[in-house]
Amino acid sequence: FSSWFPNSLRIRVSAMSTGAGLVEFPLSPTSSLKIQKGDITQWSVDGSSDAIVNAANERMLGGGGVDGAIHRAAGPELKEACAKVPEVRPGVRCPTGEARITPGFRLPVAHVIHTVGPIYDADKNPEDSLRNAYQNSLRLGKENNIQYIAFPAISCGVYGYPYDEAAKVAVSTVKEFANDFKEIHFVLFSDDIYNVWVEKAKEVIGK
Ligand code: ADP
């Protein structure tokens, strides 16, 4: 009992529920991880130093899922800006695991960071690719003085990454960047992904 009790208590203290569908985990005295359910296209904290991350594809000209939703909400200017990102090889503006930045146009955030997660069944090392996608997005955010950044569940849609494995990579990677942002958010579209992320954050941050 004595070894169980302190751990359990610590999790309860560190994971503050601030209402339905939003949980906050302190990462450092000046930064926190927030996990919420919702539509990332409507997310912002303070506008000018905000960025949302797009789960794009290598071509970067829009697609389905969260990519399509972000392009619709940002307006056609976003596709024009993406088209101007130089190709590194024919049809590839952002290789898997890398990240690129554009303005947010009609979105409530100043910036969109486009990253490409792995196709789970096609990638030789999906874990490395997913970690790279999170790390390179966070590095680019830091270089652009972004204070508040929000991620969707990269690769957890049509790219087929198992939720539990994806959550482990996502939460452990953002934890390493605690000192670089005021808030790091996950804005998750479905109950099941939201629940997996919260449980994983309790495991990874709570200890
Ligand atoms: P990928 O190709 O990387 O798998 P998807 O867009 O298919 O990307 O899915 C990534 C995740 O984004 C999925 O969990 C999907 O439910 C979620 N999603 C879709 N639309 C939105 C949105 N508007 N806000 C937040 N998440 C979204």
pLDDT in tens, the chain (207 residues): 444 444 444 444 456 655 568 999 999 999 999 999 999 999 999 889 999 999 999 999 999 999 999 999 999 999 999 999 999 999 999 999 999 999 999 999 999 999 999 999 999 999 999 999 999 999 999 999 999 999 999 999 999 999 999 999 999 999 999 999 999 999 999 999 999 999 999 999 985
User: Could you tell me the distance, in angstroms and rounded to a whole number, from the CA of residue 65 to the centre of ligand 1?
Assistant: 5
* Res 6: pLDDT: 46
* Res 7: pLDDT: 45
CA-nearest residue for atom 13, ligand 1, is 157
Query: What is the C-alpha to C-alpha distance for residues 21 and 62, in angstroms, rounded to an integer?
Result: 28
Provide the pairing of β-strand 16-17 with 22-28: antiparallel
Q: How many CA atoms lie within 13 A of 185 on its CB side?
A: 23
Q: Residue 130: what are its φ and ψ, rounded to 5°?
A: -65, -40
Q: What is the CB < 6 Å shell around ligand 1?
A: 39-41, 55, 65-67, 69, 117, 152-159, 187, 189-190, 193
H or E element at residue 34: strand 31-37
Query: What is the C-alpha to C-alpha distance for residues 150 and 122, in angstroms, rounded to an integer?
Result: 26
* Res 96: pLDDT: 98
Query: What is the C-alpha to C-alpha distance for residues 89 and 1, in angstroms, rounded to an integer?
Result: 59
* Res 10: pLDDT: 42
Query: Ligand 1: which of 114, 189, 191, 192 to mutate, judged by most atoms within 8 Å of the beta carbon?
Result: 189
Confidence check on the interface: ipTM exceeds 0.90, yes or no: yes
CA-nearest residue for atom 16, ligand 1, is 189
CA-nearest residue for atom 3, ligand 1, is 155
User: Could you tell me the distance, in angstroms and rounded to a whole number, from the CA of residue 68 to the centre of ligand 1?
Assistant: 9
* Res 199: pLDDT: 97
* Res 206: pLDDT: 81
Torsion angle, alpha carbons of 134, 135, 138, 142, to 10: -170
Q: What is the DSSP string of 130-179?
A: HHHHHHHHHHHHHHTT-SEEEE--TTSSTT---HHHHHHHHHHHHHTTGG
Query: What is the C-alpha to C-alpha distance for residues 71 and 61, in angstroms, rounded to an integer?
Result: 9
Active-site residue flag, 121: no
Please state the atom number of ligand 1 nearest to the C-alpha of residue 160: 4
Query: Could you tell me the end-to-end alpha-carbon distance of the chain, in angstroms, rounded to an integer?
Result: 17
State how far Cα 195 lies from the chain centre. Answer: 16
Q: Taking the CB of residue 132, how many other CB atoms lie within 10 A of it? A: 22
Q: pTM value?
A: 0.92
Q: Taking the CB of residue 128, how many other CB atoms lie within 10 A of it? A: 13
CA-nearest residue for atom 26, ligand 1, is 189
For residue 24, which amino acid is it?
E
* Res 21: pLDDT: 81
